[in-house]
Chains A and B, each alone.
Chain A
Amino acid sequence: MTGVVMLTAQTARSQAYAQVLQERGLRLAAAVVFGDGKPRAGAVTGPPLVPAGADLGALRLPDLSIPLDETLAAICDEVVRLLVADVNDPAVLAAVRERSPSLLIYSGYGSQIVGASLLDCAPMLHIHAGWLPEFRGSTTLYYELLAHGQCSASALLLAKTIDTGPVLARRHYPRPPAGLDMDYLYDPAIRADLLGDLLSDYARKGGLPPALAQDETSARTYYIIHPLLKHLAILGAEDNR
């Protein structure tokens, strides 16, 4: 896809995105990969849990044993690696500007917020694990599971305030199978699934679907879920299958 650049860090989500794009035969003009190589909070330290016989339907789980660099090399015309920790580092901005993207795909660290300078480079596509605008903010996969017994992904263009940008697509997903790692497998898988469909359409039609402004009256913002509620969400999902 000419002009489409992925701005990415070394995360399970990035691996999921790259693998789905490869599976669907989609190529990117470039990937800009940032990160200082130091372990991040929540980095996968062992094989994530995949329960035997898990029925995921058409959903594809990422294979975290495949290095991100390997998949990016297969799907990108160019891969740029920057040894910087922050997405808002001037080196990242320079690398993105240099490539004059028509569309950016964002897959950075969850704790970082993309600054205005980067947002001004090109429309920046982000997949949020929650139904917008009702589930804005952090760890919304779990909150939605608690509230409605299902998960969702929403595709939006990033704006200056968190999760408020125009929405391109939303999709519900079923409760994850009992015992499936949610942070490193299920969450990346549903985001990548929606991204793959959106970009397949983009490649076919030459553009994104119409973006819709969010209805602020139903918006709610969530913060990092307390471990007790996280356990309720996971255990409730397991018990209610």
Chain B
Amino acid sequence: MTMAAHYPYASGELLDQPQSYQYSPFQGNEFIAAWAHNRAEALADLPPAVTPVRPDAPLATLIVDTMGDGCETLPQLDALLAAVCAGSFNQDQGYALLAPWVKRFEISKRLHTAYGPRLRPRTPEAFRQLAPYLRFAELLEAAWTQWPEWPYFNALLKTLDVLVAHRAELTDAQGATLAWLLGRERAHLEALMNDQGLRP
């Protein structure tokens, strides 16, 4: 399939050479088709989608103040996801807790396995495990579903670019979760296009 537009944002060694997304060129309607083609190619490489099992609600009590305390990333993202899914926050509370994670990811396009206070990575090189990126994408998707905060969807798109680029490194179970997330991404995009008066 040939297209005039090109979607270059989800390929290569993105963990080592992150995308900056600066001054991205406008490519017209065909860019959306190029993005859709990229995702379709990824889905063809992945196992069938499986809805991920959500963390249990009591995990919500384990949320830390990331400004003052350190944390292990995956358990902390589990706790936040549990809380979002349980409806434990209102929109502003949710934003206050999620915004530091969004900022951390947006600055470096990486998630480390553990952080010290103020979300400073404990080990600079410990960003190559893909499980945190998958959980972060789940969290962003759940948050966007609840609250229309554009930073969540923006970070979700970028996190999925990283996961699509590195999909060959996923386990089968992780690949099934990514396939589910890509389905949710598409559904959200179609809803947005309807809102903007555009045809999907």
Give the B-binding residues of A (Cβ under 8 A): 41-42, 111, 143, 146-147, 183, 217, 220-232, 234-236, 239-240
Contacts and interface: CB of A to CB of B under 8 A. Distances in A.
* Residue from A146, A223, A225, A236 having most chain B Cβ neighbours under 10 A: A223
Interface residues on B, range: 20 to 34
Interface in B91-105: 92, 95, 99, 102-103
Interface stretch (B17-25, B79-87, B162-170): B17-25
A175 to B, nearest CB: 12
A228 B95 contact: no
Contacts of A221: 99, 103, 151
B22 A232 contact: no
A-B interface, 4 closest residue pairs, ranked by CB to CB distance from nearest:
A42-B23, A236-B196, A223-B106, A227-B24
Contacts of B32: 228, 231, 235
A52 B102 CA distance: 40
B192 to A, nearest CB: 6
Interface of B: 9, 20-24, 26-29, 31-32, 35, 92, 95, 99, 102-103, 106, 149-151, 153-155, 157-158, 189, 192-193, 196-198
- Describe A's contact surface by its main secondary structure: helix
Contacts of A143: 150
A222 B151 contact: yes
- Describe B's contact surface by its main secondary structure: helix
B24 A239 contact: no
Contacts of B35: 228
Contacts of A146: 150, 196
A227 B9 CA distance: 9
A223 B154 CA distance: 8
Contacts of A234: 26
* Residue from B22, B32, B35, B103 having most chain A Cβ neighbours under 10 A: B22
A146 B148 CA distance: 11
Given A221-B99, A239-B198, A41 B24 contact: no
A111 B198 contact: no
B102 A223 contact: yes
Contacts of B150: 143, 146-147, 222, 229
A227 B8 CA distance: 10
Contact of B21 (A222, A225, A236, A240): A225
Contact of B196 (A111, A220, A232): A232
A231 B21 CA distance: 13
Nearest to A144: B150
Contact of B27 (A41, A226, A231, A239): A231
A47 B157 CA distance: 30
Nearest to B27: A231
B196 A229 contact: no
Contacts of B157: 226, 228-229
Nearest to B95: A220
Nearest to A149: B196
Contacts of A224: 20-22, 106
Given A231-B32, A232-B192, A223 B151 contact: yes
Nearest to B102: A223
A223 B102 CA distance: 9
A223 B153 CA distance: 11
Nearest to A137: B151
